[in-house]
């Protein structure tokens, strides 16, 4: 049963990969069949072996996906190399048309999204951690939730922030998440 489920996960990944470049008519059934095979193998292995089974399915799926992507990259690289005409090399470092002001803006965006975003995401995770502990969760359950939630919240917050163009609008999600999180954390202490 285990080998069959792992094979289903591998075939599912290959079906998803095959469905990506397919035409509009063929794409849907291939993607549905691929994701369905992966879901069935995840559920089956989860029921059979618990977290260990889910881990094995994820590992097999990732290895097969990595192999499929490597093959696609090698094929595309060969095609591009054959089609590319020789040309002069472009400079490796060039400022964008914004010049130094544009560079300063990009550094500011980086600082807002990465370190400040990480701190606000941690504040959010700590606020939720305090809330679930106040609700009666024990440390064994609440601590992993906080540790898992921090990078997820950070990724979602960074994605949300990077959807805007102006610095003022980029900073809004920080305030939108930080203010209620700080209040919730303060109330849970």
For residue 84, what are the contacts with CB-CB under 8 A and spacing of at least 6? Answer: none
pLDDT in tens, 174-186: 999 999 999 998 9
Where does 50-98 have alpha helices with state H?
A: 51-83
pLDDT in tens, 82-96: 566 566 666 555 555
State the helix-helix crossing angle for 24-49 and 51-83, rounded to 10 degrees: 150
Asked whether residue 88 is assigned to any structural domain, the reply reads: no
Structural domain for 159, as ranges: 99-188
For residue 19, what are the contacts with CB-CB under 8 A and spacing of at least 6? Answer: 26, 27, 28, 29, 30, 31, 34
Instruction: Give Cα 186 to chain centroid, integer Å.
Output: 30
Q: 103 and 46, same structural domain?
A: no
Asked whether residue 106 is assigned to any structural domain, the reply reads: yes
Tally the domains of the chain: 2
State the helix-helix crossing angle for 51-83 and 2-19, rounded to 10 degrees: 30
Q: What's the mean pLDDT in 4-29?
A: 85
Q: 167 and 111, same structural domain?
A: yes
Q: 184 and 114, same structural domain?
A: yes
Q: What's the mean pLDDT in 143-169?
A: 89
Which tokens is 142 given?
Answer: 């609440």
Question: Model-level pTM?
Answer: 0.52
Q: What's the mean pLDDT in 27-41?
A: 90
Which of the listed residues 32, 47, 82 is the one where a domain comes to its end? 82
């Amino acid at each position: 049963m285990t080998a069959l489920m792992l094979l289903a996960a591998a075939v599912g990944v290959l079906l998803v990969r095959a469905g990506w470049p397919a035409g509009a008519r063929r794409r849907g059934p291939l993607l549905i069949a691929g994701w369905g095979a992966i879901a069935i193998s995840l559920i089956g292995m989860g029921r059979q072996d618990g977290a260990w089974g889910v881990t094995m399915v994820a590992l097999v799926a990732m290895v097969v996906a990595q192999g499929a992507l490597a093959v696609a990259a090698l094929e595309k690289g060969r095609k591009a190399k054959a089609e590319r005409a020789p040309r002069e090399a472009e400079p490796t470092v060039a400022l964008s048309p914004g010049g130094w002001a544009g560079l300063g803006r990009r550094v500011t965006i980086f600082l807002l999204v990465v370190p400040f975003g990480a701190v606000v995401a941690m504040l959010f995770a700590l606020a939720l951690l305090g809330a679930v502990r106040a609700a009666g969760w024990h440390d064994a359950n609440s601590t992993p939730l906080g540790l898992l939630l921090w990078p997820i919240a950070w990724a979602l917050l960074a994605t949300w922030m990077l959807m805007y163009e102006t610095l003022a609008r980029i900073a809004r999600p920080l305030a939108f998440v930080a203010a209620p999180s700080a209040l919730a954390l303060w109330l849970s202490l």
